[in-house]
Chains A and B, each alone.
Chain A
Amino acid sequence: MLAKEPSQGSQLRARLDRALGPLGEAMNAGHIYVQLARLEKAGLITREGTAGSSDRPDRKVYILTPAGHGRVSEWLSEVSWPKPDLAEFHLKLIAAAAAGLADPISIVDMQRRELLRRLRDAQRTAMAEPDRSDAGLLLEGIALRLQADLRWLEACERIWTDRRRK
């Protein structure tokens, strides 16, 4: 966010709010300053300008250092991607069935309900966003992932139902 231009903390916060919409609400307002302090310590950003006075405490401008610019370009070229942890759930079903502790199908059902509720929440939040907003695009990603997970759960249910019949 600093790559655009040197900014004050409050400007960064506003940019984040626009990008995340309602999803940004869960973030603590002070969190951004904790992160900025961390980045400063790592030499990726530096601070300039009037140190906070009591009436305008937020005048410090944060600037990306050359090392910071380097880190940003690195970040932009990374292809890492968040990993869904499906193996854990998969093993839960296998363990439940093997030990006879629980019915895998009811575990799948429970999980499915939970994901459907999250999906409903994502969709309702998206419906409340203006068309083509940044936050809406993020919410679409969340909804699509949930949909993929729900389809996998459907496959789980089918297979475990077949196994029970045998």
Chain B
Amino acid sequence: MNEPEKVLVRARGLRKEYGSGEGLVRAVDEVDLEIARGETLSIMGPSGCGKSTLLHLLGGLDRPSAGELWLAGRRVDHLSERALAQLRRHEVGFVFQAYHLMDELTAQENVELPALLAGRSPGEARRRARQLLDQVGVGERADHLPSALSGGQRQRVAIARALANEPQLVLADEPTGNLDSTATLEVLRLFEALHAAGLTLVIVTHDERIAATADRLISMRDGAFVDETRLVGGTRKNLADLAGLRAE
């Protein structure tokens, strides 16, 4: 990379189709998108609008039917399977609604695994995992199996795992979908800390309360973007007003 790209992700005419003929479905339909480095973006829409498919395309979990995709200035839409796997391992971290942790591995081992797969030494992987688990606030539960952890703790372990190889981009698909309001806030706080540390984050959700925490919100319907809102902070006076408190 010659220049430190300000735009981390760039998509042009990105398309993903399933089926053919009459049954052709355009899950993602000619999407143009730029995501700045360090930005948090949320993509919102009803189920089936293509938001998860788009996330999968952005992270190299799936391949577009047409269109161009760049990550950090590098064209990635036509990479080989092997190169895509490399990309997923090193450049992108994924967080899923159902955590997708390995049940038979401890929290620590779950976080070590991607680092080991990326060729790091066991000692290095262990140190890194330890540090990440501390960072997400579950360091004390490092030796527990996922089944011994609460939903919020599991998701935090999953976030630590997503960070194991210092990805440039973290993609989260309904990250709080299975969590109660307290655990949801914990995850949001964690995302905020990662955002403050410069991480680029894309969150797909159907929950306005999650989406509204991002810098920018894109609404999706039928595979296409229908609205984009840049969110800047409001005022607390409004909030007091919403709570029924009149400031006199």
Given known pairs A82-B244, A127-B189, A143-B209, the reply for A122 and B181 (CB within 8 Å) is no
Q: Top 5 closest A-B pairs, CB basis?
A: A26-B240, A121-B234, A119-B212, A120-B212, A26-B247
Pick out which of these stretches binds chain B: A53-61, A63-71, A110-118: A110-118
B1 within 8 A of A: no
Instruction: Report the bound CA distance from A145 to B189 in whole Å.
Output: 21
Count contacts on B: residues with CB < 8 A to the other chain: 33
Other contacts beyond A22-B239, A131-B182: 6, CB < 8 A: A23-B245, A24-B245, A118-B234, A120-B231, A123-B209, A124-B192
Instruction: Report the bound CA distance from A26 to B238 in whole Å.
Output: 9
Q: How far is the CB of A102 from chain B (nearest CB, A)?
A: 18
A107 within 8 A of B: no
Of all chain A residues, which has the CB nearest B207?
A147
Of all chain B residues, which has the CB nearest A144?
B209
Q: Return chain B residues, CB-CB under 8 Å to A17.
A: none
Instruction: Report the bound CA distance from A41 to B240 in whole Å.
Output: 27
Q: How far is the CB of B161 from chain A (nearest CB, A)?
A: 23
Which of B213, B233, B237, B239 has the largest number of chain A CB atoms within 10 A? B239
- Verify B243–A119 contact, CB threshold 8 A: no
Given known pairs A116-B212, A119-B209, A123-B212, the reply for A142 and B242 (CB within 8 Å) is yes
B118 within 8 A of A: no
Of all chain B residues, which has the CB nearest A140?
B181
Q: Mark A141-166, 1 if CB is under 8 A from B, else 0.
A: 11111110011000000000000000
Given known pairs A113-B229, A123-B213, the reply for A23 and B208 (CB within 8 Å) is no
B69 within 8 A of A: no
6 pairs across A/B with beta carbons < 8 Å?
A27-B245, A27-B248, A121-B235, A121-B238, A124-B213, A141-B243
B236 within 8 A of A: yes
- Verify B242–A123 contact, CB threshold 8 A: no
- Verify A122–B242 contact, CB threshold 8 A: yes
- Verify A118–B209 contact, CB threshold 8 A: no
- Verify A123–B188 contact, CB threshold 8 A: yes
Given known pairs A116-B231, A117-B231, A138-B243, the reply for A26 and B236 (CB within 8 Å) is yes
A85 within 8 A of B: no
Instruction: Report the bound CA distance from A28 to B237 in whole Å.
Output: 12
Instruction: Report the bound CA distance from A138 to B243 in whole Å.
Output: 7
Q: Return chain A residues, CB-CB under 8 Å to B209.
A: 119, 123, 143-144, 146-147
Instruction: Report the bound CA distance from A52 to B185 in whole Å.
Output: 44
Of all chain A residues, which has the CB nearest B248?
A31
B182 contacts which of A116, A132, A145, A151 (Cβ < 8 Å)? A132
- Verify A27–B247 contact, CB threshold 8 A: yes
Q: How far is the CB of B211 from chain A (nearest CB, A)?
A: 8
Instruction: Report the bound CA distance from A25 to B238 in whole Å.
Output: 12
A11-31: which have CB < 8 Å to B?
20, 22-28, 31
Instruction: Report the bound CA distance from A117 to B207 in whole Å.
Output: 15
Q: How far is the CB of B199 from chain A (nearest CB, A)?
A: 16
B104 within 8 A of A: no
Q: Return chain B residues, CB-CB under 8 Å to A124.
A: 192, 213, 233
